[in-house]
Chains A and B, each alone.
Chain A
Amino acid sequence: MGRSALGLLERRLLFVTGKGGVGKTSVAASIGWLAATRGQRTLVCEVDAKGNLADFLGVGPLQFDPVEVRPNLFAMAMDTEASLREYLRLNLRVPLVARLGPVARTFDFVANAAPGVKEILTVGKLAYEVRERNYDLVVVDAPATGHVVGQLASPVAINDLVKVGLVRSQTDWMIELLTDADVTGVVVVTIPEEMPTTETLELIERLQAETDIDVASVVVNRVLPEIFSRPEAAVFEQLRSSAGIDVLRGELGPAVDEVVAGADLAVRLRRSRVAHLTRLREGLGGDVPLLYLPFLFHRAHGVRATSVLADAIGDELGY
C-alpha cells in the first residue's frame, strides 16, 4: 500500500524542488497559498534570485524581510549576506561585529571560498524560523534538482568539514530538525515528460542515499486530461474517418476539419505522456505519495494561476 500525501500541510518545513521548467515556483506559491487560506501562518521563501515567486503572488520584488502578501501568507527572498548579518547579530557580541567593518567584504570571501557556506546560511535561516515557531509552515522555493541535494546536505557536509566552533554547534540542531519527517519534507515537482521523470527518480534516489530527509510527495504537474473513455475513443475513430468527416462537414462546414484535428492532437499529446507517468509510478514503487495537478487551460498566469492551482492541490489533499 502506498503512503499518502494527505498530511502534507501538517509538516512545518517543505522544500519544493524540481527540474527547471516544470512549474516548481508556481507549485511552491500554490502550496503556501492553500495553507494560508486554511488559516496557517505561512512563509514562502524564494531561494534562487529569479524573482518569479513575486509574479506568482502578484506582488513586487521580494526582500529578505518577509512581507504579508495576503492574510497569513508571508513572502521573502533569500539573501545569504543578510542571513549572515542576522546570524552574527544573534550570536556574537555587537562590538565585535562593529569592528568587522563592512560585512560585505568578508562575506564575499566566505561565501565564495568556503563550500557550503551559502547553502548553510540559507538552510539555517529557514530552519531557524521553524525552530522559533515564527510560522506554522515554511515553504521553500528551493533550487532545481541539480542543486538541491547540495543545499539539503550542507549541514552534514559542514559537520564533516568543521570540527569545532560556533557553526559546528549550530549544525546539530539543524540536522535534527531536517531529518524529522514529521517536521521537514521535500516536495519534488515534475511533469510527465522524459527528462523530468528521469531526473525526479534520480533525485529521489540521491536524496535517500545522501541525506536523511524525507520525500513528502512527488507532485506531477500539468497532467493532460484523458478526453475519451474507451467506448468514446471508438466513436471518435469513426468521426475522424474520411466518411465520418464528410458527414460532419455536411452539417458544420469545412472548418470542422480543424476542430477534429485539434481533438486528435489532444489525444496524441496525452498519449505521449502516459509512458512517463507509468515509469514514474513504477519507479517510485509506492514509497513516495503522488499528487496529480491538471494542466491549466487558462488565459491567466500570475496570481490567478496560483489560486486555481491551490484549489487543485486542495482537491488532491482531500480538502
Chain B
Amino acid sequence: MATSGLEQLCSAKEVVVSTGSGGVGKTTVAASVAATAAAQLDAKVLVLTVDPAKRLASALGVQEFGNVETQVERAAFEQAGVDPAGELWVAMLDTKQSWDDLVRQHAPDAATRDAILANPLYQNITGRFVQSHDYVAMERLYEIHASGRYDLVVVDTPPTRNAVDFLDAPDRMADFFSSPLLRWLITPYRSRLVNLASKPFYTVADRILGTQFLEDIAEFFILFQTMYDGFVERARAVTTLLGGPQTTFLVVSTLEVAPAREAEFFLDLLAGRRYHVGALVLNRVLPEFLLDRSATAVARRLTHDAADLSEVFRSPLGVGDDEPLESVLGQVGQSYLDYQVVARREAEQRAELSSTPDLCLTVPALEGDIHSLGGLLDLGGRLWT
C-alpha cells in the first residue's frame, strides 16, 4: 500500500538508514527526518551522523558533534516556532573512539586490551586507513539501538566508495576473523618450534616486508583473535538488525547520471536482500515548469528576436535607451533553454529509475540548502505527509 509521506514510516520503525552516493544530501535528509520526527511524534529521536557540515551542527544548535549523544535544546525548536512533541538527540561517529570502545568491551582482560591499544598496526588501522569506518558505523548503530535509549534512530551512512560497502562490513569482519588463512598465518608465530625460513611463503614475506613487521602483524591478530567470538556474534546481530522488520532504508539521490545509477543499483540490491526500502528521496530536482513546450517557443523567440523585441518593449517597460534590454531578453531566453536541457536530463533519469519503491519524494533545487533548524523542519515537513 502506498503511503504519502514519512510520518507512517517514522512511527512504525525504530531504525531509519539514510543511504546514497556522496554529495546527494543524505546527511541533510537524515537530520531533517530526525528533527521532524522529534517535533511531530512523542518520541526520543537520535540522529547518528558521520561527518556533518559545520552549518548542520549550528543548524541543530549544537556547538560540536561528538561521540557522546547530545540533546538539541527545546529552545532551538521554539526559536523555529515549533513546540516539539518529542526529543531530538545528535551524535557523531568518531571512528577511532568507537574502535577503542569496542576493544575495551570485547577484550578478555586488561593486559590484552592494553596490548591491542598500543599495537602500532591497530593504531594504523583505526586511524590512518579508514576502511574500518563502515564497520564501526554499523556496530555503533547496533549498540545504540540495543541500549533501548531511543524510540527512533536515524542513521546517516559513511561516505564509502560504494553505497553498499557498509552493508557487507559486519559480514566481512566476521569472515575475516574466521578465515583459515589467518589462522594458518599466525600459527607459526604462536609456536616458535616451526622454522619460518623453511616455508616459502614466509621466506618471500620476510624478504618483502621484514620479520619485525610480520611479527607485529601476527601479534596484532593473535591478540585480536581473543575477541573473535564477541566480534562475530556482534557482526551477526548487526546484520540481523539491518534486515529486521524494525529497520527501513531511505535511498537519497539527485537526478544526475552517476548518483541516479548508483541509487538504482542500491534499490535493486536492497530488494534482493529483502531489506525494507521506505522511500526514495530525490534531492535538488529542477522544477517541472522548465519542460513547458509553449515556454520553449517563447524562449526561442526571445533569443532569436531579442533586437526586435527590445524595440517593442523598451518604451512600455519604461527602460531607458542606454539600458541593456536586448542582451537581457536574449539571456532570459537562453538561460531558460540551458536549464531546460538539464531538466530534460533529469526527467530521463527519473524515467530510468524503474524499480522505485512505493514512496518517492522530491525536494526541489535550492530548498535543500539549510541554514537553521527551521530549514531542516521545513524540509522534513515537506517529506512528512
Provide the bound-state CA to CA distance between A269 and B338, in Å: 13
Report if A208 contacts B (CB, 8 A): no
Stretch at the interface among B100-108, B201-209, B225-233: B201-209
How near does chain B come to A113, taking the closest CB pair, in angstroms? 6
Contact A168 B21 (CB under 8 A): no
Report the minimum CB–CB distance from A19 to chain B (whole Å): 6
**Residues of A contacting B258 in the complex (Cβ-Cβ under 8 angstroms):** 21, 52
- Which of B179, B212, B286, B340 is close to A163, meaning CB atoms less than 8 Å apart? B212
CB-CB nearest in chain B for A110: B205
Q: Are A262 and B340 in contact (CB under 8 A)?
A: yes
B237 in the interface (beta carbon within 8 A) = no
A261: nearest residue on chain B (CB-CB)?
B289
Question: Contact check: which of A116, A195, A269 meets B129 at CB < 8 Å?
Answer: A116
* A297 and B209 in contact, given A235-B324, A272-B366 (Cβ under 8 angstroms): no
Which residues of A (151-203) have their CB < 8 Å from a CB of B?
153, 157, 161-168, 193-196, 198
Expressed in whole angstroms, the Cα–Cα distance for A106 and B181 within the complex equals: 8
Q: A297-B342, A299-B345 are in contact. Are A259 and B302 (CB under 8 A)?
A: yes
A231-265 CB mask vs B (1 if < 8 Å, else 0) is 11011101100001001101111011111111101
| Smallest CB separation, B217 vs chain A (Å) | 6
Contact A168 B210 (CB under 8 A): yes
A301 to B290, alpha carbons, bound, how many Å? 20
- Assess the B338–A21 pair: CB atoms within 8 A: no
A169 to nearest B CB, angstroms? 10
Instruction: Tell whether B272 is near chain A: CB-to-CB under 8 Å.
Output: no
Choose, from B39-47, B82-90, B327-335, the stretch at the interface: B327-335
Q: Tell which of B129, B316, B327, B332 touches A115, judged by Cβ atoms closer than 8 Å.
A: B129
Decide: A265 and B159 in contact? CB cutoff 8 A: no
What are the residues of chain A within 8 A of B54 when measuring CB–CB? 198
Please count how many residues in chain A sit with their CB below 8 Å of the partner chain's CB atoms: 80
| Contact A299/B294 with A150-B129, A167-B208 known, Cβ cut-off 8 Å | no
- Given that A232-B327, A265-B339, A265-B365 are contacting pairs, would A166 and B128 also be in contact in the complex, using a CB cutoff of 8 Å? no
- CB pair B319–A161 under 8 Å, yes or no, is no
The answer to whether B124 touches A21, judged by C-beta atoms less than 8 angstroms apart, is no
Chain A residue with the shortest CB-CB distance to B123: A115
Is A109 a contact partner of B185 (Cβ separation < 8 A)?
A: yes
Query: Which of A20, A106, A150 contacts B21 (CB under 8 A)?
Result: A20
Residues of A within 8 A of B16 (CB): none
B161 pairs with A48, CB closer than 8 A: yes
Decide: A22 near B313, CB < 8 A? Known: A106-B201, A113-B217, A266-B335: no
Q: Contacts of A255 on B, CB cut-off 8 Å? A: 292, 294-295, 297-298
CB contact list, B102-154 vs A, under 8 A: 120-121, 124-125, 128-130, 133
Tell me if A92 is interfacial: C-beta within 8 Å of chain B. yes
B162 contacts the other chain (CB 8 A): yes
Is the pair B128, A50 in contact by a Cβ cutoff of 8 Å? no
Residues of B within 8 Å of A161, CB to CB, are 120-121, 124, 213, 216
B185 CB to nearest A CB, Å = 6
Q: Using known A-B contacts A100-B204, A150-B130, A239-B328, determine if residue A231 contacts B316 with beta carbons closer than 8 Å.
A: no
Residues of B within 8 A of A266 (CB): 335, 338-339
Beta-carbon contact of A227 and B335 below 8 Å: yes
**A residues near B179, Cβ cutoff 8 Å:** 108-109
A161 to B201, CA, bound (A): 20
A198 touches B318 (CB 8 A): no
Compute how far the CA of A106 lies from the CA of B309 in the bound complex, rounded to whole angstroms.
Answer: 74
Which residues of B in the span 300-321 have a Cβ within 8 Å of any Cβ on A? 301-302, 309, 312-313, 316-319
Q: Are B257 and A301 in contact (CB under 8 A)?
A: yes
Given A21-B21, A115-B125, list of 7 further CB < 8 A pairs?
A108-B179, A228-B328, A238-B318, A252-B302, A262-B299, A266-B338, A297-B342
Q: Which 10 pairs show the lowest CB-CB distances between chains A and B?
A: A20-B22, A21-B23, A165-B210, A262-B336, A258-B295, A255-B294, A297-B338, A266-B335, A164-B210, A263-B332
Query: Can you report 28 residue pairs joining A to B where beta carbons are below 8 Å apart?
Result: A21-B21, A21-B22, A21-B259, A110-B205, A112-B176, A113-B221, A114-B213, A115-B124, A116-B124, A150-B130, A153-B128, A157-B124, A161-B120, A162-B209, A162-B213, A167-B209, A228-B331, A235-B323, A238-B317, A239-B329, A247-B313, A250-B316, A252-B298, A253-B294, A256-B298, A259-B299, A262-B336, A262-B340
Binding site for B on A (CB under 8 A): 19-22, 48, 50, 52, 88, 92, 96-97, 99-100, 105-106, 108-110, 112-116, 119, 143-144, 146-147, 150, 153, 157, 161-168, 193-196, 198, 225, 227-229, 231-232, 234-236, 238-239, 244, 247-248, 250-253, 255-263, 265-266, 268-269, 272, 297-299, 301
